[in-house]
Structure 1
C-alpha cells in the first residue's frame, strides 16, 4: 500500500468514527505516513532548501505524529509545519509567502487548505485540526503536498528491485564440549559396534550374590575419582539446540508468552485498581459528607461575611465620592495659592521700587545731561545766527555796490548823448 492510500484510508477511518472504534492498526498508520513523508522530503532536498535557510533542526521519524515530541516548545511544530507547507506549495508552481512566527495561525491554515483544494486534495476536516501542528491531518496535508511536488518534478515511483539471496551454509565451529541435537540422534540411531559384549555369566554370578548391608550403607567408591569422572562426562551431556531467528514458530510462542504475561499482569493490576477505586470512592464520600457538615456549621459565618462585604462595598463607594471632592478642592486650593504667590511677588516688586532712590538719581543725571545739551544747542544756534547775519550783510553790500555801478553807467551814457 502506498503512502497516499494509507493517508486516504486514515481519512476514511476518521469519517467512520473515533480512534477506539477503528482497528488496532489504524492508530499507528500515521507513523507509517510520517516515515514516508520524511523520505519524500529528503528526495526534494529539504535539508538545504528549508533547514539551512531557516536555521532549523532535522526532523525526526515521528516529528509530526504527536505534540509530546516537542514538549519544550509546542509552537515550534506549527511553525515547522507552516514553513514546510509553504515550501511544498511553492515547488508545485504556486506562489506562496513563507509564514512568520507572529502571523495569525487561522489565516495561515486557511491559506494552506485553499492551496491544497486547488491542487485536488480532499479536505473534509475542520481547520482547527492543523493548529496543533501534529496529528494525522497534519501528516496527511504535508504528504499530499509532497506528492504534488514530486509530480511537478516528474518523479515516478518505480518498483523495488530486491537482491537475490543466496543460501550460504553457515560454518559453525564445533565445540567438543557441546553436542547438537542431530549428533544426539545419530548417536542414538547408530549402534556402537566397539561396545564390549556383556558377560552373562559374570552378571549371573553378581546377581546371585547377596548385597551386604554395610556395602549399601557405605560406598566404597573414591570421591576424588567420582568427581573426576563427573567433570569428564559433564561437557558431553550438554545438548544445545540452535534456534533459527527467521522461524515464525518462535515468534508465535513468544507472542503467546507475552500475551499470558500481559493477562496475568492485567489481572493483578485490575485487582489493585479496583481496590484503589473503592478506596477513592469511600474517600470522596467522606469528603462530601464532611464538606456538607462544615457548610452547615459555617452557614451563619458565611452570611455575616456576605453582609460585611456589602458594607465594605458601600464604604468604598462613599470613600470614592469623598476622595473625588477632596481632589477637586485640592486643585482649587493649588490655583488660589498660585495666584496668591503672583500677587505677593508684584507687591514685593512695587515696594522695593518705592523704597529705592536709584530712579531719582537717574532723573537728576538725565536733567543735568539735558541742560548740558541745551547749552551746547544755544551755542550752536548763536554761531549759526552770526553766520547768517554775516551772509546777509555781505549780500546787502553786494547789492548796494551793484546798484551804484548801474547808476554810474547810466549817467555816463546820458552825458555822451
Structure 2
C-alpha cells in the first residue's frame, strides 16, 4: 500500500505519468503483433482485434470489465505458454481470484516484480494490467530470441536543380546570362512588346462597339497552355560570389542577436531571482505543512490500507457467496424434481382409475371365458357326432362282411 500511495503522489506531482499507460499499451500492441496474436488468439477464440487503448483504464475510453478481464486472462495465459510454462486457457465462468493468483505466480517465477494487490487486475484494465501483459510479452520475445534492431533511415537524394532562396540577389552577369539563354530559345514571349501593347490600349481609351466573344476552343487553349508552361518557369542559378552577401547578412544578424540578448539577459536574470525566491517560499511552506499534517497522513494511509484489506476480503467473500448461491440453486432444482415425482406417485395412488380399469378387464375376461366355453362345447359336440358316424360306419361294414362270408360258405 505504501507503494500505491507513493505512485499516487508521483501522479499528482507529475501529471504526465497518468498518461504513461497509453504509451505502454501501444508498445504492448506492437509486441503482440510481432508474436502473431491475430492468428493465435483472435482467430482461435473468435475475438475482435484490440484497439490502441483497449486495456487503458481512463474516463475517456470505453470500459467493459467482464470482456476486458476475459481478454486479459486469455492473452496472459497464451504469453505464459509461449514462455515455456504450462497454463490452461481460462474460461468465462472460472473464479477470477484463482486466475489472477495463477498469473501473478507465473510472473514472479519469470522474474517480474509484483508490488500491488491482486485486486487491481480484476477490473481488466488499468496501469497494472498493462504492466503485467507488457512484462509477459517481453519474456515471450526473449524466449523467441527476438532482438530489436536500429531503424534504417533512407538517404536523402540531392536534387539536381539548385533552388535559390527568396533573399538571393541577382547580379548583372546573371541577368546577361538569362538574356542570352532567352535569345537562344525558340518561341519566347516578348514581354516588352506585350507591355507596350497593353500601355497603348490603356492610353487610347477606346472602347469596343460590341461585346467581344471568344471563338477559341477550350481544348486547344489547354493544349497551348501546357505547351507554353515550361517556358514560363524562371530558374536562377547560384553564383560563387554570393557568399560575401551571406557573410555580411550573418554579421548583421549576429549583431542584432547580441544587442537583443543583452536586454533579454537582464530580464531573465530578474525572472530567475524571482522564481528562486518563490521556490524557496514554496519549499519552506511545504515542509511546514508536511510537519503539521504528518500524523494525519499516517492515519490516512493506515485507514486506506485497512479499507483495501477489508475490500479484498469482501470481494473474496462475495465470490464464496456467489458459489454457494449457485449450489443452493442446483439443490433447489433437484428438490423440485423430487417433489414433482412424489406428487405424481401420490396422485396415482389416491386415484381410482386403475381399479376401474381392473374391473373392466375382469368383466372382459369373463365374457371371453364364456365365449370360449361355448366354442369348446360346440367343438365337443362336433367331435361326438364324428365319432358316432365313424362307429355306425364300422358296424355297417362289419355286417356287410359277415353277410358276404355266410354266402360264401353256403
**Structure 2 length normalisation: TM-score?**
0.38
Higher relative contact order (CA 8 A, sep 6+): 2
**Structure 1 length normalisation: TM-score?**
0.38
